[in-house]
Structure formats: structure tokens, C-alpha cells
Amino acid sequence: MVSRFPSSTATATTASSSFFAFLSEDVVLDILAKLESDPRDWARLACVSSRFSSLVRAVCFRSHCSRYLPPDLLPSTAAGAVAWSSLHKLSVCCPGLHHAGVLLEHSDFGLERDIGPHLAPPGPSFSSSSCSSDPRNPPSQALSDVSCWSLFDDLYFDTVYDSSEAQDVACTPIEPSPGDNHPITVGSIAPNRRTKPWVGPTSSHLATGPWTLSRVQGNKLLASRYRNDCLYICDWPGCTHAEEKRKYMLFRGMFKNFKRSRVWKTINDLNKGKIRLACAFCACRETWDLHSAFCLRRIFGFHDDGEPVVRAYVCENGHVSGAWTETPLYD
């Protein structure tokens, strides 16, 4: 025990200048161990100095993950501090309504995200060649004229509601918003956001639910053809957010070996656009919507207002954020 401490000739003056400087790592870790009950303390300490950052991530986060997470998800011993940090966050941090996709607009049943943004139909002088590089019609001008047409526009207008056939209130063709000049891309599409007020925190925060993840929960979420994929989800009910209209049970989880999973193959093959919804657990700025990729059990439907009963988003690293809106049929 004597070796853990510095020479006892360290003076009070020295200590007042920097309390921790003269304490060995064993002792500092003993202090850190006493902060285990609230994960926020470790996370804040990681922001204090590089010494604390490396101790917290390499030792504290690692010991927590080894205790609470299934061995399947633990990285190799050679894993860097960032890997443990991400995993620890997955264990204790609720993604919040934002990263769980609850704030996305769903009344269009996700059509916009599937086939492209809203665009006005082309004018009579349209020529498809104007989209390509044409010295008489430079790309920037073509874009501002909104004169590029693609397959997506055909699909959209084939499916748009025709008001003349309706007995109820007619749906009018959607006009593009002013200044909406960007071309169709099957890449990142900025999702619309609801503007109604929310009761609780919408960003990531300490989860109120359990810190463990289990495959049983993951199996309840995925469609049966993905039964061989290993998805670990936090134990039910996750972090509960009672909002004005509906209660949301936010969950988080992770695929083991995501790039070798069938879900990954599906979303890759479909070439479905990512959405610009950042992952809550790593630096990925985009995620895939598992619901519209038909990876979730089909029995989960929609509420009357178009909101899906369950939604889930996965990033390239296999981190999953999502929300249930009612007790699942299986429990």
C-alpha cells in the first residue's frame, strides 16, 4: 500500500497547487471507483484533463462494460479508449427523442425519404439534356430553373393523391417550399422536424432504465428473416418519455458484427438513402431507417396520425436508437 502514494515528504504547499498530481494511478482509480453509481461523474471527469480522460475511458468505462454488457459486444483487449467510451455510452445513455427519430415528421409515411424531396413539375420548355453539362445551360442555372427531371419524380406523381377522386377533403399537390432548389439526391436527405413542444429533454441524457442489453429484446424487434443477426437492445422498457400525446419508450442497442449481418446487406442492396440523423453513440452523422427498410417486424403498424408504432435507426457501426410507442405485442 505504501507504494501507491508519493513520498510522504510531499508538502501541503505542493498539494494545494495540484491535489491529484502527486497521487499514483492506483489511488486515483480508488477515488474513481467510488463514483461508479452515477455514470455522469465519470463522463464529466473525462473532460477535465488528459490524465483523467485516459483513466476513465481505459479503466472505468471498460470495467463498467465488462460488468453490464454481453461479452459478445466487448471489443478486443487492444481496443482504443474511444471504443470503450462508445460502448459505455450505449449502456447508460438514452439517445433522446432527437436521435431516436421521434422528432421526425411521419405524416407522409416516409415517402419523401424514399423517393426524393418535393419538386414542382417541369415547365413546357424542359429538355432532359439540360441536366447534363451544356455550355448553353450551365448546371447552376438548370438547378435554379428546377428543370431536372428523374425517375423519382415519375414515381412521386404516380402515387400522389388525385383530389378529383376524393369524397373527403382533397389533398392538393405539394408545392415546393420557396428557395428549395437542390436537386434530387438519393443520399443524405434532411428530415423534417416537428415543431410542437416537447415535455422532457430531447437530446441524449442519462437513461432511467436498466444498463444491460439483451439479445432477447433485439429479436422482438427484427423481422423473422433477420433472426440470425445479433441485435442487442436495452432491457424493456428502456428510458420512458411521457409526452403530450403519446408515451415513448426509448431504446438503444447494437448489432454484433454489423457489417456481416443480413440487415446491413439489406440496406446496402436496397441502396436506400441514409437520413441526416446522427448516431447518438459515435461520430456517424447519418443513419438508416430500419422501419422503412422493412427490417422490423411487419406486425408493428402505424398510429392514426401516421406515426409508426416502433421506429429504429442504425448507423454504420451498428449502433441502434429507437422508440416504442406502446407495449409490444410480445413481452
Partner 1 sequence: MAKMIKLVSGDGAEFEVEEEVAFQSKIIKDIVADADDVIPLPTVSSKVLIQVIEYCRKHAAVNSFPLSPSSSAAAAASSSSSISYSKPVSDPALRAWDNEFVKLNNSSLFDIVIAANYLDIEELVDLVLETVADRIKGKQAQEIRRQFNIENDFTPEEEEALRRENSWAFQNN
Nearer to partner 1, 23 or 222 (CB): 23
User: Between 266 and 305, how does the x/- string for binding to partner 1 read (CB under 8 A)?
Assistant: --------------x-------------------------
Phi, psi of 233 (to 5 degrees): -125, 155
Nearer to partner 1, 35 or 184 (CB): 35
Nearer to partner 1, 205 or 272 (CB): 205
Which one-letter DSSP state was computed for residue 33?
H
Nearer to partner 1, 253 or 328 (CB): 253
Interacting positions 175-234 with partner 1 (CB under 8 A)? 201, 203-206
Residue 330's contacts (CB-CB under 8 Å, 6 or more residues apart) are 220
CA distances from 52 to 21, 88, 120, 130, 177 (A): 11, 16, 55, 58, 49
Asked whether position 64 contacts partner 1 by CB under 8 A, the answer is no
Q: Buried b vs exposed e over 122-139: b needs ≥16 C-beta within 10 Å? A: beeeeeeebbeeeeebee
Nearer to partner 1, 21 or 216 (CB): 21
Dihedral sign from CA coordinates of 31, 36, 37, 40: positive
# chain residues binding partner 1, by CB under 8 A: 48
Q: Select from 83, 85, 102, 263 the one that contacts partner 1 (CB under 8 A).
A: 85
Asked whether position 10 contacts partner 1 by CB under 8 A, the answer is yes
- The H or E element that residue 323 is part of is strand 319-324
Nearer to partner 1, 43 or 223 (CB): 43
User: Between 15 and 54, how does the x/- string for binding to partner 1 read (CB under 8 A)?
Assistant: xxxxxx-x----x--xxx-xx--xxxx-xxxxxxxx-xx-
Nearest distance from C-beta of residue 283 to partner 1, angstroms: 8
Local structure of 46: helix, strand or coil: coil
Q: Which three cell numbers stand for residue 208?
A: 432511467
CA distances from 176 to 103, 118, 119, 240, 325 (A): 21, 6, 5, 37, 31
Nearest distance from C-beta of residue 66 to partner 1, angstroms: 20
* Residues making contact with partner 1 (CB under 8 A): 1-2, 4-10, 12-13, 15-20, 22, 27, 30-32, 34-35, 38-41, 43-50, 52-53, 85, 89, 93, 96, 201, 203-206, 280
